[in-house]
Each structure stands twice: as structure tokens, then as C-alpha cells.
Chains A and B, each alone.
Chain A
Amino acid sequence: MSELTINPGVELRNSRLEIHHFRVRLAIASIFVLCMFTLLFVRFFYLQVVQHDYYTTLAEANRISIVPIVPNRGIIVDRNGVLLASNYSAYTLEITPRKITDVEALIDDLSTVVEITPRDRRRFRKLMDESKSFESLPIRTRLSDEEIAKFAAHRYRFPGVEINARLFRQYPQAELFSHVVGHIGRINTHELEQLEAKGIEANYRGTDYIGKVGLEQSYETHLHGTTGVEEVEVDAAGRAVRTLSRSAPTSGNNLVLNLDAGLQEVIYRAFGDFRGALVAIDPATGGVLAFISKPGFDPNLFVDGIDPVNWKELNESIDRPMVNRALAGTYPPGSTFKPFMALAALTLGKRRPEQVISDPGGFNFGGHFFRDDKVGGHGMVDMYKSIVVSCDTYYYVLANDLGIDNIANFMAQFGFGSRTGIDITGESRGILPSSKWKMDRYKQKWYAGETISVGIGQGYNSYTPLQLAQAIATIANDGVMFRPHIVNYVEDIVTRKRTVVEPQPMRTLQLQPEHLAVVKKALVGVNKEGTGARAFAGTPYISAGKTGTAQVVAIKQGEKYIESRVLERHRDHALFIAYAPADQPKLALAVLVENAGFGARAAAPIARKVFDYYLLGKQPTPLKPDEGAAGARD
């Protein structure tokens, strides 16, 4: 330490002190370092030991993606196996709007590679408005092999656009079955909420489509099937790296219908240019053999979302092709109501069959003259004749004798004014007038005068063709009533197990056989010697029927309805109800032809063709206009 004495001190002592101070500071810094590293260690311990399970789950969820495998939708065939709704697989070009900044520009660009029509664009824009942005939406469907190859070569230019193989729904019979088979369409927000409410949205993961109307909607749960899942390992970009496990989907069940495609086509053609509806039922089972609402539309347009132009055309057409006339259209039954009135009179003891009234050509009630269709009247009329010649006066008087509430109570058991419960939705109830109904509806009491025209199926009366068909089928089946059903059975395509739709009768009406016999005999008379005789001349089978005409516009009192003077859309609707063979009915039907005039002329010949085809296997010959028209009036 000798050199230290050379410098007498201050600086050296300071220096030592300084080193001491420095080392204290350094020690503090070291403690700080240790604290921070301890903090890190604690954090690691927390993440890797305490929260390890949680983060493992997250990492697995990151890594593993559950990919739904959409089941094949069940197909729909008619009673003879004719395809009504089937699936085909095709390639689609799809855009995920979320990944695109300027969709229009992209579509312009795409159209240089793959043909994109203005219709495709319109449809795509509509889809985009309706769907959530993360979905990939088809811009083109049914790409050809050449188009696929062309796009593949340019695909680097189009991030967010991809080609997918998808199953598509096809309706080979197009408009023939549009109102009964219905169609599927893309699932919308409302339907998604419904699925969630039912707790079955998981089964719809990956499914874009759902039944919208008709059987496609009402049998959705059967047709859809069970979605399978595939566990795949994915990277951060969502690309599948490998499959970890897979459970196969179960295809939806097939529907085998009671409908007969051949019959359906015969009917559709028989309508010619007329609009209308026809429902044919097997009276012994309630199976619906034909269900027509004309005009129909092409359901294939709806599968991928209809484009606005086609939609507008369908929706605004004066023919209203979107309306299911057979199910939801309600019409006054006209004279087809008379057999039921007669049955009511017999059952309630208001008439005996042989009881005769005089028809002077009308009925005067409360200063109002209710005109009979035949000028001068039918003379002396018993029950048989009243139906065969369709005498209005007989039923004016009868209605007045029965009173509205007796009529309503009796008619209700035939299903008038209530839904038949057919296996498609959207059914109208129709209107079965009664004093209670009028009070509920209009807050007014029923006037006795209003009962009179109810007797001939006019007035407030308004029913669907389906209700009429069910009612006549019930008469044909001697009062044993079935719920009409379009589907015969649901077939499990794996086990081939068939689940038959409701073979049990709904109810048996309290009718006397002798009363039924009177009415049925009269119905046979209609086609033998009455208003239906012309149309049914020369049939090898015996048929029963009743014509009807429903007024579209009211005719002023004392004025005569002259068809040629009335606007086409204001002309009367023609109606006909029938069944055959009369002794053992195989088919009962109701047919309505809009604005076609008298039921005998326009509606009965269609019914004839149905029976000829169904009972005899006869293909109809083209009908000369006005054939069978000049015969008896309604």
C-alpha cells in the first residue's frame, strides 16, 4: 500500500467509496434482475402447470377442426318409382365475400375466365344480401370440365374463389309437381333460428339447404339425414393437413308417394290453357293420388336462389303460379255442396227422399227472389231429381228449413271449414259460415236470408279443392274419413325399413247407410242421366259425380249471366266432384277450373279423363273444344 501514500488521499478514498457505492447499486440491479426472472418463472409455472389443461384444450381446438360431412338428401319418388326429386353432383364456382374487397370487380375479372351470365350475377347479389359474409356462395353452378380446367390455370389470380363439388337437388318433373313436392332453398336466418330453437342446428352444420315448401319442407327431418363428422388437423390458414377420425353421415330417408306421375301428367294436360286445381284421393286409405294446382312453376329455379327477374315474373304474373290453388285457394263450392245438403236433410230428418217440392223457377224470401238456374223451374222435384238436375230451388227451401247452424254443424264433420291435416303445410281453412262465425268475423248477427244461398254452395261458403276432395271421398267410403296424405311411406335407405304414413281412419261419421245410399244413387244418376251424363257417356265403369259452378262476381237480381259478356277473369269457376267405380270406389276427386264457366262443360270432362286413365289405363285423346258442352246445365 506504499504507493497510496504518494497521493494523500481524498481521491483514493473517494474512489473506494465510489466503488462501494457502485457495487451497492449493482447489487440492487442484480436483485432486480432476479426478481424479474422469478416473475417470468412464476408466469411460466402458471401457464405450463396451473393452466396447462386449459391451454392444451385451446391448442387442440386450434389444431383440430371438425368438418361436417353433409348427408345425401333423401329422394322423392311417385308410387311407381318415378323420380320427383333427386340429387346430382356438380362442380360450383364459389366466392367467399369476406375475403374479397371488391366483389363486383372480382366477378368482372372472373368472367374473363369462366362464363358468368347477368342472371348469375343477379342471383349472386341476392344471395349475398341474404347470407352471412363468411359463407362461400356459388356464382356459377354446373361447371363443365373445360371450365374447371380453365379456372384451375388462373386460380392464383383469385384468392377467395374456389371450386367445390356439391350435391344439387333436381326436380325432373319440374312444374308438374311444383306445388306438392315443393323445393329446397338456402337456409335463411329465420330458419336457422328455428333450427336452433329445436336444438338441431348441429345436424345442419355444413348444410346450405333446407326444404322451403311442399313435401321438401314438411318431411324435412326425414329427408335431411344425419350429418357425419370428420376430425382433421388444420394449420393456421385452415388447410387440412391430415384426417384424424371420421364418422360417416347417414343419408336421409326416401319418400315414396301415393301420387301417380302418369295421372298427374294426364290431369295437367287435360286442363289445357285453363287454371285450376284437382285433388284425387283413394277413398279407402286417404292416399292422395293426384294433386294439381295449375299453373305451376319450375322449382329448379329456387334451388340455388332465384334471380330477381324470374322471381318478379313468377310473383307478379296475373296467373299467380306461386299460389297452391288446391291447398290454399278457397272457392265457393257451388252445386257440389248439394249432396252434402241432402245428406244433412236426411240425417236431421228434415226431408224424406221421396218428399217432393214444386219448383216454380225460384224461391221468394223476405222480398228477395232467389232465382233457379233453369228459367221456369224444374217442376216437381224429389231428392234424387234435385241432385241429378241440380235444382236450386229445392236447396233454397231446404237451407231455410235447416237453418244455418244445423247446416254448419253437419258440414263440419266432413271437414268443411277446418284443415284436412294433409302432410304439406300452408293449408287454408276455408269458410264454413255459421251465426257464430259471422259474429266473430263481422260482429254481426246472422240474417235468415243469408242462409238461402248457402244451400246451393254460394254465399259465405268457401272451401279448398282439397276439402271438397276429402268430403266426396268420405261419402264414397261410406262415412269413414281418412286424413289425406301424399306420402305413402318413408323408406330408410340403409335398413330398407318402411314407415307407412297413417293408414288409420281419422273418424267415422254418424250417417245412416240408407241415407248414404240415397245420395250415392243420386250421384250416380248425375253421371248417368243428369248434368254429368254428357261427359261420362259410354264409360264401362259406373261413376258418381256432381257438377258445380261458383260465381266469381255477383249478378244483379233479375239479370241473366251471359258468359260471353263477362270478362274472362270474372267468369264463373267450374267445379266437379266425383268418384268411381260407384260400387267400390277406387278414386274420388274434386276438380276446379277457374273462369271456365259451367262445371258440366269444363270440369267434368277432366274428371272423366282421370277415371279413364286410372281405372282403364287409357291415355286421353286430344279433346275438341267445347265437346260435351251443350248438355245439361249446372
Chain B
Amino acid sequence: MPVIRRLTRLLTAHLDTQLLVVLLLLMGVGLATIFSGSNQSVPRISSQVANIMVALGVMYIFANVPPHFLRRIALPLYVFGVLLLVCVALFGEIVNGARRWLYIGVTRIQPSELMKIAVPLMLAWYFDRYEATLKLKNYIIAALLLIVPIGLIVRQPDLGTALLISAAGAYVLFLAGLSWRIIIGFGIAGAACLPFVWGMMHDYQRQRILTLIDPTQDPLGTGYHTIQSTIAVGSGGLVGKGWLQGTQTHLDFIPERTTDFIFAVFSEEWGLFGNATLLLLFLLVIGRGIVITANAPTLFTRLFGGAITLTFFTYAFVNMGMVSGILPVVGVPLPLVSYGGTSLVTICLGLGILMSIETHKKLVQS
């Protein structure tokens, strides 16, 4: 049936098989772990399956959107996002002591989530536009484009998101060829600024960092999450306690078992072998992203693709680092594994763009 075969090829032309297989594997790991972490809750699973469907749909759409379209919407999206952030600062709703949400008639939205895509997109567009004549001035402007939304997000306060967006922006700057002298200079200046940053932090943020240094300081308060998740990971051992057998998980010692701390559940039940496998899967996604980026045809796609790939890495690293007690507790989900629609959609959108970059490059070149 050549018609069907041609139709299938047309429909899947913009999908990247390697990325798709690996991300489906990761989602499968996620479902299995959510099942365990939610004490075998079927509603949780079906709800996550629905999230996955939506996310795959978004991925499919963005895989088919040609990169030059994204380039076109970069500036408006960025401006729109910054405006929303300003609105949040002015009229935002306060939830749990942080002003992060904006109520828009029917539902609440969190504009900082949008900026996770909009900021690297904007920077990639900016460098692409001035590709021929990149000067120091351009890097400074790019830095300003980065600092404005981050400043607004830090004020909310939402340090975790601010750091992730900074990282995404910094990756673009780095990949765009920011001079080493400046990078090192900023590194030193940044270190020098640390005391001031400390002074500006909110108490709960300082507490998180102090807790990281010594979780036992406050075992029932802020240290509790770190202590319990570290125990879960450590007690998992080489091969883990077995699926659905984690005591830390099933006796409620791990907080946020299906979302931010899902890795503790996985780690307890699958042990070091499971962790190594998971790291490998993430590396496959990242590796594929790097290959796509390396072969991307334009500076815009290179920078944007690189930022997406490295942001994905950052999510995974920060989350696993936090659960295993080497990074402070920040609200970052484990990409493709944690329960929750928002992060799943954001990640799949990014991966869709990567696929788009890969599958549209011939068109660009021709």
C-alpha cells in the first residue's frame, strides 16, 4: 500500500526517531514510578497519560513548525512575556508567599514558565540577527535582555525558575562565542558578589542553602526533604528494593513523591543500576540534541537548539542533584519523568523544536 506508506512518511517526516524512542522510554519510566509513588493510584496514571498525550501533540506540532517561523515570533513572544511578568509584579496573586501567578479571567497562569522558552529564543534571534557584526556591545545588550525578565522573576520570588532561565540565557551567550576573558571576569565578579546576593535573599532561600550544607540542622523542618530523599537513595543500594517495594516511598517518608522528588522513589526501588540506566537515557537525549545542534544550519537554530539541549540537561542535573543532596531544594521537576502537565509540555515543546531543526535543515539548505 504505497499510499499509506507515503502518508505515514509524510506525517512522520518531522519526527526524530532516536529522540522519540528515548523520550517515550523516559515517559514509561515516569509512569511506572508515578504508579509506585502514588501508592498505585490509577487516576494519577490516567491523568499523566493525558498529560503525555497533550505533550506529544505539542511536540508533534512544533516538530512540524519550521524554525524560521519561530525566529519570526521570537521578539513578540519575548515582549509579551516581559509584559506579563510586569503584570504579575503589579497585579499578581500571592500564593504561598510568592507573587507568581496571574489571574486571567478563567484561570491562573505562571508567565515565568513561558519565559523558559521565550528568553533563549529571544537571545538566539538577537545573535542571529546581528550575526555578521557581533561586537561586545551586542553581548551587553543580550545580557540586558536576559537580566530584565530574570530580575522580575527573582522579585516574585522564584529563585529556581530564575536560575534555570539564567542558565538557558547563559548557554546562548556562551555558545554565541562570548569571550573567555569576559566569562572568567564575570565568574570572578560573581563570586565577589555572593555576599551581596546572600544579603538580598529571602530567609527561606537562605535556609535552603544552609540546609544543604548541613541538613541535620533542622531535621523536621527544611532539612526533612533532603534527609529523607537521601536516605531513600542510599538505602536503594545496588539493585534497589524492587518496584513498589520502597519503604521510604510507601510509608510516606518522601515528600512530593510523584513530582519533584520522584527520583527518590525511582532510586530507592531500582538502585544504582536503575540510576545508571536513567542517566544513560538522559545522556542519549542530550547527546542527540548536541548532534542536532552541531549540524544545525543557521546560527539561530544552533543557539536555540543548544540552549534547549543544555536546559534539558540542567533540569535533569538539578533535580537529581537536589534529591541526592548535593544541590539545594529548588522546585525543578525531573524532565519527562515527574508527574505534571506544565513541565511535560514545556520539555516536549523544546524537544519538538529540536526535531524541527533537524528535519527542516535540508529545506533550509536547499
Q: Which residues of A contact B (CB under 8 A)?
A: 11, 14, 18-19, 21-23, 25-26, 29-30, 33-34, 36-37, 39-41, 43-45, 47-49, 51-52, 54-56, 58-60, 62-63, 233-237, 241
Contacts and interface: CB of A to CB of B under 8 A. Distances in A.
Contact of A29 (B235, B236, B306, B317): B306
Contacts of B230: 47, 55
B279 interface: yes
Interface in B120-166: 131-132
Interface majority SS on B: helix, strand, loop or mixed? helix
Interface residues of B, number: 45
Given A25-B177, A58-B231, A59-B247, A40 B271 contact: no
B174 A25 contact: yes
Contact of B321 (A18, A22, A40): A40
Contact of B235 (A21, A22, A37, A55): A55
B253 interface: yes
A18 B271 CA distance: 44
B237 A43 contact: no
Nearest to A233: B251
B290 A30 contact: yes
B272 A48 contact: yes
A63 B313 contact: no
B171 A29 contact: yes
Interface in B202-242: 228, 230-238
11 contacts: A11-B132, A25-B177, A29-B310, A33-B313, A41-B275, A48-B267, A48-B275, A55-B231, A55-B234, A58-B234, A63-B251
A37 B302 CA distance: 23
Contact of B310 (A33, A34, A40, A56): A33
Given A26-B306, A49-B272, A235 B313 contact: no
Interface in B243-291: 247-248, 251-253, 267, 271-272, 275-276, 279, 282-283, 286-287, 290
Given A54-B234, A56-B235, A37 B177 contact: no
Given A18-B177, A43-B325, A48-B271, 16 more contacts: A23-B294, A25-B174, A25-B175, A25-B177, A29-B171, A30-B290, A33-B313, A40-B279, A44-B272, A44-B276, A47-B233, A47-B234, A47-B325, A48-B237, A48-B267, A235-B251
B237 A62 contact: no
Contacts of B248: 59, 62-63
Nearest to B305: A26
B213 to A, nearest CB: 16
Contacts of A19: 302
Interface of B: 131-132, 171, 174-175, 177, 228, 230-238, 247-248, 251-253, 267, 271-272, 275-276, 279, 282-283, 286-287, 290, 293-294, 299, 302, 306, 310, 313, 317, 320-321, 324-326
Contacts of A49: 237-238, 272
Contacts of B247: 59-60, 62-63, 233
A45 B276 CA distance: 10
Contacts of B238: 48-49, 52
Given A59-B248, A235-B251, A43 B235 contact: no
